[in-house]
Amino acid sequence: MEDLTQEEWAEQLANDDNAVVLDVRTDAEVADGIIPNAIHIDIQKGQGFIAEIDELDKSKSYYVYCRSGNRSGQACHIMEQLGFEKAYNLEGGMLQWTGDVVDLE
């Protein structure tokens, strides 16, 4: 796992053809907006989160975020334990995100 600043995250994401953006916030948090093209899997689902994550393609690069960077860091550690080699945590999460945000509706 690697913690990336907002700038590093956005730059690396833009240059990664194998990238998947993963939002691990709650449904209520996601209702406020989501980074474009992100997939949403709520880390607070516990075992359900682990089961859903384990089904993802482990050969891809995952750019993981939450509200502040804490839960996404936990998610990256879980992903490493499941065999993911490229999981990047967004430092500061959505609280510091200055990029695009879209509504799910």
- Model pLDDT for residues 25-68, shown as the tens digit of each residue: 999 999 999 999 999 999 999 999 999 999 999 999 999 999 99
Q: Which residues pair with 2 in a beta bridge?
A: 88
* Tokens coding 59: 């050969």
76 is catalytic: no
Q: Please say whether the beta carbons of 67 and 94 come within 8 A.
A: yes
Question: How far apart (Å, rounded) are the C-alpha atoms in residues 4 and 63?
Answer: 9
In order of their start, the domains of the chain are: 2-96 (3.40.250.10)
Which residues have C-beta within 8 Å of that of residue 29, sequence separation ≥ 6?
A: 66, 67, 94
Question: What are the φ/ψ torsions at residue 73 (nearest 5 degrees)?
Answer: -65, -45
pLDDT surpassing 80 at residue 104: no
Q: Which of 1, 35, 66, 76 is catalytic?
A: 66
What is the per-residue pLDDT for 105? 63
